[in-house]
Each structure stands twice: as structure tokens, then as C-alpha cells.
Amino acid sequence: MARVSLILTPGFADWEYAFIAGTGSPFYGIDVRFFAPAVGQFHSQGGLAVTVESSLQHCLDWQPDVVVVIGGTAWEGAHAADISNFLQASRSRGASIAGICGGTLALARAGLLDTVPHTSNNPAFLQDNAQGYAGHSFYRSSPVAIVADRIITAPGPAPVSFTCAVFEAAGLSAETIAQFRAMLAAEHR
């Protein structure tokens, strides 16, 4: 069974993790678990109160196949949690690393976007909010998730393509992912 860890922070974006958590375990047999840089109770952007009891060290010990950094306002600014060592250690152990919206800032700060094609909300978002970001020439303006060398990035409005990329990294078949994408797109036909 594939293991996917979702990293949450206060003010996390409700729509960015929902498809992964809501379908990954019950429909696709993925072991999805939640972790946080600072454990305890906090709220999502939409006001959902959550209690996350597992730290990033617990996540490393669990050895997920995919580490997913969910976006939110906590990643912006000088007081953001520095999870660079955790992300680098997870990648060294073979995990794919994914970041959406503000979560891409954590990847940028860890140097994971310096040498691979990637996207985010926009290039200025990374440049203005991720000290040490050196991947400018690899930035791609994309409305959907980008996957390169086990790094998955997406802008905030792309939770479907992001989920598909995470599911692919977790080992779901191309056929299953295509069915998932078609199911979510059906209302737009």
C-alpha cells in the first residue's frame, strides 16, 4: 500500500488536500496520513478545526512514498516554518515531494526547485516569499501541475491535476488516474 503524507499548517487551504485525502484512502487504497511542523489544534482557511498529532519526525519515521505540502497563508513571510531539512531528508529516502500554492514556497526554500521545471501561483510569488529561491530559469507558467524528477508543483487553482500527479507518484495506474480525472471533469461537459 502506497503511503502519502499531507503536511498541514495553520490556515491551510481546504481545497488543496481534499481530493487526495477524500479519495486516496477510501477509493484507491492509499494510506494517507496528516503531519504538521507544529502539532496541535489549528484551523483551515475555511474555518475547519483540526488536530494534527504527528510531527515531521514521525513522518520521516513512517517513510512515505509521497510528501505533500499543502498551501496556506502560513507559508508566506518571514515567520514560515522552515521544513527544508525534513523535505531534503524525505527526498533522500526516495519520496516524491509535492507542493501546491503556498506549499511550493517550502520546496523553494529547501532548494528543491533550483534545478527542475516547476510552477506555482506566479514567479513573483516564489521570488518574493522564498528566500534563497534560485530556480527562476526553471519556472514554467502553467495552470496545471508540473512533474519533474519526483518533484510535483501546482498553482492553488489546480487541485485536480495536482491530485492526479500525487496519485501517479503513489503508483496508481494511468487508467485509474484517467478515470478519476474524467469523473471530476464530467460536470464541465
Task: Give the model confidence (pLDDT) of 84-102 as tens digits.
Answer: 999 999 999 999 999 999 9
Task: Give the model confidence (pLDDT) of 139-178 as tens digits.
Answer: 999 999 999 999 999 999 999 999 999 999 999 999 999 9
pTM exceeds 0.85, yes or no: yes
Instruction: At 22, give phi and psi (nearest 5°).
Output: -75, -25
Average pLDDT taken over every residue of the chain: 96
Domain of 134?
3-188
Rounded to whole angstroms, the Cα distance separating 12 from 20 reads: 14
Q: Which residue has the cell 531534503?
A: 88
* Number of domains the chain contains: 1
Q: What is the CATH number for 24?
A: 3.40.50.880
